[in-house]
């Protein structure tokens, strides 16, 4: 794919930004050309309303980041949209076609695929076998297979060829016949992304593509995600790494406690008080500069420690945590964001990363 650029930005990115330029920066904002539209989507787990989305639209041809603290409902929302879980309520459509009740393989077949926060590569199959499985149901039914074996064979050849092309693109061709289980965490993420592309999707949904990825591979993963847009695909990705969001997202949607809290371009969203609240709790009266000063002076950390101390919650061997007030029940303690390690050199909006840092670190351990 030629990398056409205009003033440093690719033509595709320029186009995506232009399409989003006049979109109001508010939750549920209407887009000029949405590929995905969801209305009143709810998912309840016992007493917990994990997803409660009134309205959301995803602009075609853009890279949209879905961010929010641990337990915000991002993965559950992905599961509902792609048919891996059942909503209690709601409707959503892809290219104007209702997807409610559509099973995952059919959702993928009509052009909407997703990857998983915890990779789902089948470890006892080889890399190429995993890729071929990604094409399952692409075309051809058993009837046609029986009637026209030659047709079927040519389809098999096409699938293998496409798989090998993708493996080359993702630099996994040397691993073609290795078991997926022998790949590193980062390579598994690459395999999952490559496998998702086997159905030639229009919308690619990535759940924490960078989590557990060795830093040596992150740059290449970033480029692959950007490349999806260059090839005309729409990307919706969940990510806790705010640098990545800033770097590649054209638009950001923020979830908290199951709801869409904010939308807008990355810089605007990350300095939005509602967003900082969702990650950090009640510090909404302060300007970012004040918050930054406090972090540099360690005042916020002290305040948090004091709060925890008052509650008698700070065990000697535990780092004090600044778990957001908004963190829903069910989020485990080891996923709680910490602010005590705040680096004075960081800008305040980076504090939002605190929520995800703990989780990503955890994934890192598992992924390598
Ligand atoms: N199968 C389930 N049964 C019960 N509760 C669940 C289930 N799946 C998710 N939850 C709860 O729903 C809430 C939303 O979880 P979800 O995994 O969607 O959050 P998330 O935004 O993806 O978080 P993270 O950033 O940690 O991945 C959490 O409180 C979680 O504990
Ligand atoms: Mg998740």
Distance from the alpha carbon of residue 318 to the mean position of ligand 2, in angstroms: 25
Distance from the alpha carbon of residue 161 to the mean position of ligand 2, in angstroms: 33
Lowest mean pLDDT among 40-54, 255-269, 290-304, 342-356: 342-356
Half-sphere exposure of 151 (CA within 13 A, CB side): 10
Judge if the beta carbon of residue 337 lies within 6 A of ligand 1.
Answer: no
Q: Are residues 15 and 86 in the same domain?
A: yes
Half-sphere exposure of 116 (CA within 13 A, CB side): 12
Q: Are residues 310 and 174 in the same domain?
A: no
pLDDT of residue 118: 73
Ligand closest to 330 (CA) is 1
Q: Are residues 223 and 89 in the same domain?
A: yes
Distance from the alpha carbon of residue 53 to the mean position of ligand 2, in angstroms: 16
Q: Are residues 83 and 207 in the same domain?
A: yes
pLDDT of residue 278: 77
Q: CB 52: neighbour CB atoms within 10 A?
A: 20
Q: In terms of pLDDT, which residue wins out, 282 or 239?
A: 239
Q: Are residues 141 and 36 in the same domain?
A: yes
Judge if the beta carbon of residue 359 lies within 6 A of ligand 1.
Answer: yes
Q: Are residues 234 and 104 in the same domain?
A: yes
Q: In terms of pLDDT, which residue wins out, 285 or 54?
A: 54
Angle at Cα 113 formed by Cα 210 and Cα 31, nearest 5°? Answer: 90
Q: Are residues 178 and 295 in the same domain?
A: no
Pairing of strands 5-6, 9-10: antiparallel
Judge if the beta carbon of residue 331 lies within 6 A of ligand 1.
Answer: yes
CA distance 324 to 278: 7
CA distance 214 to 126: 22
Domain count, the chain: 2
Name the maximum alpha-carbon separation found in the chain: 75
Q: In terms of pLDDT, which residue wins out, 314 or 218?
A: 218
Half-sphere exposure of 158 (CA within 13 A, CB side): 14
Q: Are residues 300 and 335 in the same domain?
A: yes
Q: Are residues 37 and 146 in the same domain?
A: yes
Which residue among 42, 45, 85 has the greatest number of ligand 1 atoms within 8 angstroms of its CB, and so is best to mutate? 45
Judge if the beta carbon of residue 327 lies within 6 A of ligand 1.
Answer: no
For ligand 1, atom 28, name the residue with the nearest CA. Answer: 71
Judge if the beta carbon of residue 324 lies within 6 A of ligand 1.
Answer: no
Judge if the beta carbon of residue 328 lies within 6 A of ligand 1.
Answer: yes
Q: How far is CA 356 from the centre of its chain?
A: 12
CATH of the domain at 72: 3.40.50.300
pTM for the full predicted model: 0.74
Residue where one domain finishes, among candidates 273, 302, 323: 273
Would you give the DSSP letter of residue 328?
P
Q: By residue range, what is the domain housing residue 305?
A: 282-367
Q: CB 111: neighbour CB atoms within 10 A?
A: 18
Q: In terms of pLDDT, which residue wins out, 133 or 19?
A: 19
Terminal Cα-to-Cα distance of the chain (whole angstroms): 31
Mean pLDDT of the chain: 77
Q: Are residues 163 and 201 in the same domain?
A: yes
Would you give the DSSP letter of residue 284?
T
Instruction: Give the residue from 249, 210, 257 showing the smallest Cα distance to 228.
Output: 249
Distance from the alpha carbon of residue 363 to the mean position of ligand 2, in angstroms: 11
Q: Which ligand 1 atom minimizes the distance to the CA of 329?
A: 29
Instruction: Give the residue from 248, 206, 241 showing the smallest Cα distance to 227.
Output: 248
Contacts of 313 (CB under 8 A, 6+ apart): none
Lowest mean pLDDT among 51-60, 131-140, 280-289, 314-323: 314-323
pLDDT of residue 307: 46
Q: Which ligand 1 atom minimizes the distance to the CA of 51?
A: 14
């Amino acid at each position: 794919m030629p990398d056409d650029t205009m003033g440093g930005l690719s033509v595709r990115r320029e186009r995506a930004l232009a399409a989003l330029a006049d979109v109001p920066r508010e939750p549920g904002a209407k887009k000029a050309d949405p590929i995905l539209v969801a209305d009143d989507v709810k998912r309840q787990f016992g007493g917990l309303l994990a997803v409660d989305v009134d309205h959301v639209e995803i602009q075609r041809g853009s890279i949209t980041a879905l961010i929010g603290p641990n337990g915000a409902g991002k993965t559950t929302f992905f599961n509902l949209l792609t048919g891996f879980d059942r909503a209690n309520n709601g409707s959503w459509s892809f290219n104007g076609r209702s997807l409610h009740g559509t099973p995952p393989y059919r959702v993928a077949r009509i052009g909407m695929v997703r990857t998983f926060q915890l990779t789902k590569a089948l470890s006892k199959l080889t890399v190429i076998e995993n890729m071929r499985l990604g094409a399952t149901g692409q075309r051809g039914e058993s009837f046609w297979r029986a009637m026209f074996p030659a047709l079927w064979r040519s389809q098999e050849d096409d699938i293998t060829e496409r798989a090998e092309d993708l493996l080359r693109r993702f630099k996994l061709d040397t691993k073609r016949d290795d078991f997926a289980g022998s790949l590193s965490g980062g390579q598994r993420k690459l395999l999952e992304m490559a496998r998702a592309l086997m159905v030639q999707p229009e919308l690619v949904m990535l759940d924490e593509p960078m989590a557990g990825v060795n830093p040596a591979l992150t740059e290449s993963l970033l480029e692959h995600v950007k490349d999806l847009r260059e090839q005309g695909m729409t990307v919706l990705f969940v990510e806790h790494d705010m640098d990545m969001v800033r770097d590649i997202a054209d638009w950001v949607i923020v979830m908290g406690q199951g709801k869409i809290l904010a939308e807008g371009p990355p810089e605007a969203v990350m300095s939005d008080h509602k967003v900082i609240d969702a990650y950090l709790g009640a510090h909404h009266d302060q300007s970012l500069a004040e918050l930054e000063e406090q972090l540099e002076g360690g005042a916020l950390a002290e305040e948090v420690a004091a709060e925890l101390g008052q509650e008698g919650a700070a065990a000697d061997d535990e780092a004090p945590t600044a778990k957001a007030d908004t963190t829903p029940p069910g989020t485990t303690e080891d996923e709680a964001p910490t602010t005590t390690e705040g680096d004075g050199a960081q800008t305040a909006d980076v504090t939002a990363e605190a929520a995800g840092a703990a989780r990503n670190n955890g994934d890192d351990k598992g992924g390598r």
